[in-house]
Structure 1
Amino acid sequence: MNINNIEAFVYVFLFGSVNRAAEALYLTQPTVTARIQTLERELGAQLFNRDGKQLTLSDKGKQFLPYAQKILQTYQEAKIHLQKTPIVKRELTFACVPSVSTHLLPNILVQFQKQFSDVSMRIFTGHSSEVLEKVLNKEVEFGIVRTVTHPNIDSFLFHADPIELFVYPGHPLIKQENVRLHDVYREPLIFFEHGSLDYFMIYSLFETMHLNPNVILEVDSMETAKKMVMAGIGISFLPKSCAQNEVKEKHLFQIPIKDKPPLARDIRLIYLKGEDRSPFLSFFMNGGNAFI
């Protein structure tokens, strides 16, 4: 079956006449008519009803039309694909925890694209244990996680994310000077990731001061904790990167605490020991704090 004959059939349908189809195809009217007739003979079916100069699709023509259009589309796509000059692109594949992909990566990747414009990226997200597994299985070149340990893994501090207290607009602590932990522990507190290092680090902060924090809600993610604070349910200690946009927009306010020691959430790059390092690893080693 000749593709030109199918093309003539579709064009006659689209333009409503042989004359207009011939003009669009830069062919003569007899040539287009001959192609339609050849196609009808091959199919053993009349595709158009002819009433003088007016052409309308026959029932068989209506049945054949979607097939003809699909054949033409597939042919055109294949032609375009084959005529393209192949572009060989380098690829970077890595995995990270969701908080990193949401809050830290965007600014870094802007700089990465400027430096490596010919590199495409695939990024997987998951819990630290899932990222570790992908690194161990060589599914990714490296991972970005909370602190994890494994005998086959080397790690590098990617970013130290300060943990600070955040409150909702209008909270009394915003106007209070010299806020101390004693001013905070009775407030309705929202803790995230029960059992995590962050959880124990913040809880221990109050324990060392012999204070029993008023934890009214525990949630499994910092994003949820942040939303709860913005809703006015309570206040929360959160990684600074998690709340920086909301602080700019004044949906959240950071409260300096006079007697709080520096707390930070360590994010680390992990990669296999004894393997050739990813050619892009040095960029991320230098970029964790530089571009954030």
Structure 2
Amino acid sequence: MNIDNIEAFVFVNHFGSINKASKALFLSQPSVTSRIKSLERELDAELFRRVGRQLIITDKGIEFLPFAENIIRTMKKGKEHLQNMEEKNQITIACSGLVSFYLIPRLMPMFKERFPDQTFRIMTETSETVARMVANGDADYGFASNVSQTKLNAERVIESPIRLIVPSDHPFADGETIDIERLVETPIVFFECGSLDWTMVHNLFLSLREQPDIQYEVDSMESAKGIILNRAAIGFLPELSVHRELEEGSLVAVDVPTLANVSLKTDLIHHNGMDIDGFDEMTAIIRKVSSERPEVYSRSFI
């Protein structure tokens, strides 16, 4: 079976148009049409039918699609593997946003020193996607929360407390602990990262007698931090995401006893079938980084 014909089928389905698929494949429309017809003959099945001006995938096309996509994906991975073997050694690390933005920049020089012949590819994804990438072999290592896949080895490397972060001139920034009920006194920015520990913060809000004034809901730690820095609100963030601002004094972390044990936990993961030595060395590097500034990361690393 011709791989080019299968690729044409996948592209036409993705774009919903032979015209758009031909542009993406850098082919003429007749060439793409010819490839689809050839594949239909090989499969003895109609894959698309026209309804007016629309191109609609058939039931048999729908059934064949996941197999076609898997063939293309496997072929792509095989090509990339051979290219990496010929051109250079590369370590792919998939990370959650917390690690990618606030930890990886500090780790990279040490990783490069330990693995001088390697290049590094860093990919920022959700924890669920990170775990899937490592399990499927699309990433060598991953930093993710709530890892449950049996194909993976995981070791806890980060435990960053979720703390109430306020501007340095905010009334709550006097060094005293505050009762959670006082959150009604000031606007809140709420960052939702999707982890189980983060859900505890949200559930805590729901349990209050009077609901906090949540004026901003964001899906980015940097957006939440920027809103707090501009004194528009206060909010709960992982300590690791604001360590620089805490050091500089532009932001202050306030203790809320009700959330004393809530933290954003992250594991370093790799596939069970991989060489354990590299995994152990990367873990050791992370622990070395954590020991350099214990006053900032006293609870951020395990």
Residue 255 (structure 1) aligns with: 254
Alpha-carbon contact 2:111-2:285 (below 8 Å) kept: no
The Cα shift of 1:149 comes to: 1.8
TM-aligned CA distance change 1:176 to 1:152, over 3 Å: closer
Alpha-carbon contact 1:194-1:219 (below 8 Å) kept: no
The Cα shift of 1:92 comes to: 2.0
Residue 129 (structure 2) aligns with: 130
Residue 34 (structure 1) aligns with: none
Is residue 120 of structure 1 aligned with residue 119 of structure 2? yes
Q: Which amino acid aligns with 2:246?
A: V
- Identify unmatched segments of 5+ residues in structure 2: 1-86, 291-302
Is residue 280 of structure 1 aligned with residue 278 of structure 2? yes
- Identify unmatched segments of 5+ residues in structure 1: 1-87
Task: Map 1:142-291 onto structure 2 (within 5 A).
Answer: 142-175=141-174, 177-193=176-192, 195-206=194-205, 212-273=211-272, 275-277=273-275, 279-291=277-289
The Cα shift of 1:119 comes to: 2.8
Which structure has the larger Rg over C-alpha atoms? Answer: 1
The Cα shift of 1:266 comes to: 0.6
Alignment: residue pair count: 205
TM-aligned CA distance change 1:193 to 1:138, over 3 Å: same
**SS of the residue aligned with 2:264?**
strand
The Cα shift of 1:211 comes to: 5.5
Alpha-carbon contact 1:203-1:213 (below 8 Å) kept: no
Q: Partners in 2 of 1:259 and 1:148 — Cα distance?
A: 26
The Cα shift of 1:195 comes to: 4.9
Q: Partners in 1 of 2:94 and 2:158 — Cα distance?
A: 16
TM-aligned CA distance change 1:261 to 1:185, over 3 Å: farther
Q: Partners in 2 of 1:124 and 1:118 — Cα distance?
A: 20
Q: Partners in 2 of 1:247 and 1:271 — Cα distance?
A: 32
- TM-score by length of structure 1 reads 0.62
Alpha-carbon contact 1:185-1:214 (below 8 Å) kept: yes
Give the RMSD, CA atoms, in angstroms: 2.6
Alpha-carbon contact 2:145-2:195 (below 8 Å) kept: no
Alpha-carbon contact 2:141-2:269 (below 8 Å) kept: yes
The Cα shift of 1:202 comes to: 1.0
The Cα shift of 1:178 comes to: 3.6
**SS of the residue aligned with 1:270?**
strand
Report Cα offsets for 1:112-149 as digits up to 9, x if no partner. Answer: 23333333222222222322232122122121112232
Q: Partners in 2 of 1:269 and 1:208 — Cα distance?
A: 33
Q: Which has the higher helix share?
A: 2
Alpha-carbon contact 1:162-1:264 (below 8 Å) kept: yes
